């Protein structure tokens, strides 16, 4: 009896461990080859007593028509593979002659389902008799356990490291910078800025390495906001934060204004050209197909506009107005011309978006084209932004593999195109305002309270523009178009994160930035390095079956950890690379 109990317990533990590691446990189940499934896939077996067609539409495809998945008949048992990453709505029709059918079509509709499916599961769809049912015949694996295990390991390592530092009595004074005299000589810099930048670059590398295949850690297909969408705007924003600090430092050293502007222009040109070069790692190096814009190019344009304008308009010696109101708003008033420029850029962006359009497309269209809204504007992907890019740059010079195109179809759109440069510059200018707060508000409380107040204002404004929804607002949150709601919401998140970092690293001095500060000191080097080494061992590797979140998560963490280690080695050797 005890042996039976022990055996059952062992089998249960084995099954749980297999589920944690996303192992289906069997090679075959009821004649289905389980090893043929890829990540986020499951089998559906159809049982019916009549000829029917199973249609589906993913939640990722807003207002798209239902697409035929499988024709079923009573003579043969049909099966097919479905994607389980995002939920879908299914419909079963008795009349299934078309590949697509409208959501408004109820002729021959037998039932509608919203199944909750999991990776490597096996499910039976039964359409016999009245209605439809779906039954689990083999339980799916737990795709989130590898992520929880990773977080547990990182937490344990962090606690152990802290205990070792405490036991060895080697806690350094927080005011002392960690990497030697050269870093001290650079400037009296806020560690929160380097920590924030380090968090952004580490997460960017992790996302670019696949983020373990978890869709919500990557990018939203069109409207909406995923975790990976926060990284790029964070870089834009923190770049803006540093502009007043660097310009003031240059003024203090007696550098003429024209030299500051020249340096800004030179840096922007270098960044833009470097971005074009990096584009050829993933894309074509044929001149007729060379992608012109990209991440560094967008940063370059935003930096040129925001830093150049600030350098031209900022007074060398700012005297705040007298009075309580003037003192309270001195950081805002010091950026008055930047706010004017931001307003002009927003107005121009809005006018272009609403007025300019393809002659065959509706004015003000903000959708992805293709199947969106049941082909209401199939050739109008990206609205004015997409039209301008295709008109001025040409299809062959745009990004060819966007998620939106894969899901919706339609023409190519570049997520880092021309029109979005305007709102990207606005985001950098919002960062300039946060940097001015550092310059003119000397107390920790004043800085953090203002940042959090701005965060609340931006978050509410962005949410109002988006209508507190993903799809139904006046200006939906959209990274591909770099919409103003996207700018405001992501700037609010950046302000909140900077406030937290600043509180712990500079105000309370409880944290030195941990593993993130060194990557923040060499962010541009890490970005270029991880781009160049995108397919090189040991940064990346593959095994025969890269079909689980667990193995892809290990690979992504491995590559990210290597770059963190490299950043710490560079900082230890006092190597700091800037453009």
**Under a CB-based contact definition with an 8 Å cutoff, are residues 437 and 450 in contact?**
yes
Angstrom distance (rounded) from CA 444 to CA 438: 9
Two structure tokens written together for 549? 């979140």
3-state helix, strand, coil in the chain (%, to 5): 50, 10, 35
Angstrom distance (rounded) from CA 105 to CA 252: 70
Q: Which residues contact 110 (CB under 8 A, 6 or more apart)?
A: 52, 92, 93, 94, 127, 131, 132
Question: Annotated catalytic residue: which of 29, 219, 535, 549?
Answer: 219
Q: State the residue for tokens 């991440």.
A: 295
Q: Which residues contact 347 (CB under 8 A, 6 or more apart)?
A: none
**Most distant CA atoms of the chain, gap in Å:** 89
DSSP string, 76-142: B-EEEEEE-SS-EEEEEES---SSEE-TT--TTEEEEE-----TT-EEEEE-SSSS-EEEEEEPPP-
Q: Compute the C-alpha angle 315/318/323, nearest 5°.
A: 140
**Under a CB-based contact definition with an 8 Å cutoff, are residues 300 and 279 in contact?**
no
Q: Which residues contact 357 (CB under 8 A, 6 or more apart)?
A: 363, 364, 365, 380, 383, 384, 387
DSSP string, 162-189: HHHHHHTT-PPPTTS-TT-HHHHHH---
Q: Compute the C-alpha angle 511/559/293, nearest 5°.
A: 95
HSE-up of residue 160 (Cα within 13 Å, Cβ side): 6
**Under a CB-based contact definition with an 8 Å cutoff, are residues 409 and 221 in contact?**
no
**Under a CB-based contact definition with an 8 Å cutoff, are residues 212 and 403 in contact?**
no
- Give the Cβ contact number of residue 198 at 10 Å: 26
**Alpha-helix residue ranges (DSSP H) falling in 367-483:** 383-392, 403-408, 420-440, 444-465
Angstrom distance (rounded) from CA 227 to CA 218: 6
Angstrom distance (rounded) from CA 63 to CA 89: 11
Regarding beta strands 88-93 and 52-58, do their DSSP bridges make them parallel or antiparallel, or are they unpaired?
antiparallel
Contacts 24+ apart (CB under 8 A), 396-399: 396/288, 396/289, 397/289, 397/290, 397/291, 397/292, 398/291, 398/293, 399/283, 399/291, 399/294
ω into residue 538 within 30 of 0, thus cis? Answer: yes
Residue among 50, 92, 44, 48 at smallest CA distance from 68: 92
Q: For this structure, is 219 an active site residue?
A: yes
Angstrom distance (rounded) from CA 15 to CA 8: 10
> What SS3 state is found at 53?
strand
Two structure tokens written together for 342? 């931001």
> What SS3 state is found at 69?
strand
Residues noted as catalytic: 219
């Amino acid at each position: 009896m005890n042996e039976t109990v022990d055996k059952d317990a062992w089998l249960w533990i084995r099954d749980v461990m297999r589920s944690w590691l996303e192992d289906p446990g069997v090679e075959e189940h009821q004649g289905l080859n389980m090893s043929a499934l890829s990540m986020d896939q499951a089998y559906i077996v159809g049982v019916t007593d009549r000829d029917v067609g199973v249609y589906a539409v993913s939640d990722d495809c807003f207002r798209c028509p239902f697409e035929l998945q499988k024709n079923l008949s009573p003579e043969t048992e049909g099966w097919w593979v479905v994607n389980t990453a995002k939920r879908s709505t299914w419909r079963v029709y008795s009349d299934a002659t078309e590949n697509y059918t409208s959501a408004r079509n109820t002729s021959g509709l037998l039932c509608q389902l919203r199944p909750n499916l999991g990776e490597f599961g096996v499910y039976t769809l039964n359409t016999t008799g009245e209605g439809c049912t779906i039954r689990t015949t083999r339980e799916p694996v737990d795709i989130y356990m590898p992520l929880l295990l990773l977080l547990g390991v990182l937490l344990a390592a962090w606690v152990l490291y802290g205990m070792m530092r405490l036991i060895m009595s080697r806690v350094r004074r927080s005011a002392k910078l960690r990497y030697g005299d050269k870093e001290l000589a650079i400037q009296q810099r806020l560690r929160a800025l380097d920590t924030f930048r380090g968090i952004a670059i580490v997460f960017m590398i992790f996302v670019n390495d696949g983020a373990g295949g978890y869709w919500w850690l990557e990018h939203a297909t069109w409207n909406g906001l995923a975790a990976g969408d926060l990284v790029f705007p964070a870089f834009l924003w923190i770049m803006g934060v540093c502009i007043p600090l660097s310009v003031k430092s240059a003024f203090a050293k007696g550098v003429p204004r024209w030299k500051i502007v020249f340096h800004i222009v030179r840096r922007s040109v270098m960044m833009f050209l470097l971005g074009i070069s990096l584009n050829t790692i993933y894309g074509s190096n044929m001149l007729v197909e060379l992608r012109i814009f990209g991440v560094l190019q967008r940063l370059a344009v935003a930096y040129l506009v925001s830093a150049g304008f600030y350098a031209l308009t900022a007074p060398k010696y700012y005297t705040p107005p007298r009075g309580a109101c003037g003192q309270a708003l001195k950081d805002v008033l010091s950026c008055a011309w930047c706010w004017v420029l931001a307003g002009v850029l927003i107005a121009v962006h809005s006018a272009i978006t609403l007025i300019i359009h393809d002659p065959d497309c509706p004015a003000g269209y903000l959708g992805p084209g293709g199947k969106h809204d049941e082909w209401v504007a199939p050739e109008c992907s990206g609205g004015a932004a997409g039209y301008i890019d295709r008109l001025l740059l040409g299809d062959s010079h745009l990004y060819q593999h966007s998620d939106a195109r894969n899901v919706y179809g339609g023409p190519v759109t570049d997520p880092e195109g021309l029109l979005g440069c305007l709102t990207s510059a606005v985001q950098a200018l919002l960062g300039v305002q946060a940097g001015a707060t550092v310059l003119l508000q000397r107390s920790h409380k004043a800085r953090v309270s203002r940042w959090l107040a701005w965060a609340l204002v931006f978050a509410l404004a962005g949410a109002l523009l988006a209508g507190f929804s993903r799809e139904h607002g006046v200006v939906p949150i959209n990274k591909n178009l770099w919409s103003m709601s996207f700018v405001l919401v992501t700037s609010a998140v950046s302000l909140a994160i900077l406030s937290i970092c600043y509180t712990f690293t500079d105000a309370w001095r409880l944290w030195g930035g941990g593993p993130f500060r060194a990557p923040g000191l060499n962010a541009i080097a890490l970005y270029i390095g991880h781009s160049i080494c995108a397919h090189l061992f040991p940064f990346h590797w593959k095994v025969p079956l890269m079909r689980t979140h667990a193995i892809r998560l290990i690979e992504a963490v491995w590559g990210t950890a290597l770059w963190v280690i490299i950043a710490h080695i560079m900082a230890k050797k006092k190597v700091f690379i800037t453009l």
